[in-house]
Amino acid sequence: EERNIKSFEDLNSWKQSRQLRIAISQLIKTFPDHEKYDLVSQMRRSSRSVTYNIAEATVDLILKKMLNKLESQEGQYMNYLTN
């Protein structure tokens, strides 16, 4: 998935985890009331964390790439100034 990714929403893994999150939300609605505070809460948090972690990691990767580009440009500029 190393194509031109501009957002975590472009990732198939994020799209699939979002679909899983929606499916889990639908499944949770069928659970009995006595499960709504323990199991349901845990399932909801777990399914959300997958999409959040993918989004966070993608943002970190994009920022690192941007910083590398800026550092490269800075190096080229400094080389230009000294020559």
Confidence of residue 2 (pLDDT cuts 50, 70, 90): low
| Cα(78)–Cα(63) distance, integer angstroms | 22
Which is more confident, 52 or 74? 52
**What average pLDDT does the segment 17-45 reach?**
88
| Cα(49)–Cα(56) distance, integer angstroms | 10
Find the helix or strand (DSSP H, E) in which 82 lies: helix 39-82
Q: Which residue type is seen at 57?
A: A
Confidence of residue 3 (pLDDT cuts 50, 70, 90): low
Q: Is the pTM of this model over 0.75?
A: no
Confidence of residue 56 (pLDDT cuts 50, 70, 90): confident
